[in-house]
């Protein structure tokens, strides 16, 4: 009998979890705010706590962060600039607004000594809320027993537009997102990082090769080296100069374009074969994933039936 009660309690909790998720999704679809803590740059409207209004002192910093990133500063560089100027980080602003400076996730009282970090800069640059939109259902949990956070793909987010005044215009936000996608291939204060930076992989360990600069008395050289070796987590010391690899790529492109121009039909057939191979490989991987998922679903059904019996 105690076993039956425990089993019924588990089913009750699981059912309640589904109902709560359904209610939260309904509220999100209605454009309601599901978080009690506005992002840095916004504050709750004193007349209506369910609405966000612009917190102008913080909004000025948000706009400056976007401008600095577009100008070529890195995440670490922007954090350093703000810290050198003595600008308070988001947790301090939360405390000034009467909110929990730790965001409700911690009871630590060391927020007064905190400074800007590159992770905070990255979070600000990624937030669509600054366009004036409400973004909900970005994260979830696997079940009520597993508290690990799972980030959903963007096409599963619920976005309600024009729910609060924008802080950043659409063009600026989109430009920043394009730069963030390119990562280290964008220009920095050290200069242009090269069109191949982040696109070349080590033949030994498969890690990315990143560009490095070495300056001597006679000249300044640029070369690509393995990121795993640079971070001291494996692989061996080997590198190739930027000039050499760009020359190799250029010669290869010239050879391919010449072949495509002189023997167009053969080139088209070759491309079709390559695409067919890629599609076949993707299909095999999808079928293997489906087989594993089906086997796991059958295993879970057997476990549930066994528990029920």
Spans in the chain with pLDDT lower than 50 = 1, 3, 6-7, 104-108, 184-190, 217
Looking at residue 212, its pLDDT comes to 74
Looking at residue 26, its pLDDT comes to 64
Looking at residue 191, its pLDDT comes to 54
Looking at residue 64, its pLDDT comes to 93
Dig out the tokens for 66 from the structure. Answer: 């976007």
Whether residue 52 contacts residue 38, with contact meaning beta carbons closer than 8 Å, is answered with: yes
247 and 291 in a single domain? The answer is no
Distances (CA, A) of 131 to 44, 53, 201, 244, 259: 17, 13, 36, 44, 48
Looking at residue 121, its pLDDT comes to 92
User: Range of 154's domain?
Assistant: 31-183
Looking at residue 149, its pLDDT comes to 64
Beta bridge partners of 220: 215
Residue 278 lies in a domain: yes
61 and 167 in a single domain? The answer is yes
299 and 235 in a single domain? The answer is no
Looking at residue 202, its pLDDT comes to 82
256 and 271 in a single domain? The answer is no
Q: In this predicted model, what pLDDT tens digit does every residue of 235-285 receive, in sequence order?
A: 777 778 888 888 888 899 899 899 888 888 988 898 899 888 888 888 888
pTM of the full predicted structure?
Answer: 0.51
């Amino acid at each position: 009998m105690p076993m039956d009660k425990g089993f019924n309690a588990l089913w009750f909790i699981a059912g309640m979890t589904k109902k709560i998720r359904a209610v939260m999704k309904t509220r999100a679809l209605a454009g309601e705010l599901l978080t009690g803590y506005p992002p840095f740059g916004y504050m709750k409207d004193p007349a209506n706590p369910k609405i966000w209004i612009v917190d102008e002192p913080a909004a000025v910093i948000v706009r400056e962060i976007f401008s600095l990133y577009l100008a070529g500063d890195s995440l670490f560089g922007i954090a350093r600039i703000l810290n050198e100027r003595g600008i308070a980080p988001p947790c301090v602003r939360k405390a000034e607004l009467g909110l929990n400076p730790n965001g409700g996730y911690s009871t630590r009282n060391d927020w007064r000594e905190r400074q800007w970090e590159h992770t905070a800069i990255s979070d600000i640059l990624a937030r669509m809320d600054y366009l004036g939109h409400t973004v909900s259902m970005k994260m979830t949990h696997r079940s009520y027993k597993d508290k690990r956070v799972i980030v959903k793909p963007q096409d599963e987010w619920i976005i309600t537009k024009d729910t609060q005044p924008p802080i950043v215009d659409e063009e600026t936000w989109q430009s920043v997102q394009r730069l963030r996608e390119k990562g280290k291939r964008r220009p920095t204060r050290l200069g242009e990082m090269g069109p191949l930076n982040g696109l070349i992989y080590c033949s030994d360990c498969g890690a990315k090769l990143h560009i490095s600069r070495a300056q001597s008395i006679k000249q300044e050289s640029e070369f690509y080296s393995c990121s795993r070796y640079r971070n001291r987590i494996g692989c061996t010391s080997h590198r190739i100069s930027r000039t050499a690899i760009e020359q190799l790529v250029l010669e290869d492109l010239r050879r391919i374009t010449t072949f495509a121009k002189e023997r167009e039909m053969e080139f088209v057939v070759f491309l079709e074969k390559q695409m067919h191979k890629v599609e076949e490989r993707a299909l095999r991987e999808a079928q293997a994933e489906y087989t594993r998922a089906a086997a796991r679903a059958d295993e879970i059904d057997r476990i549930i039936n066994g528990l029920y019996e």
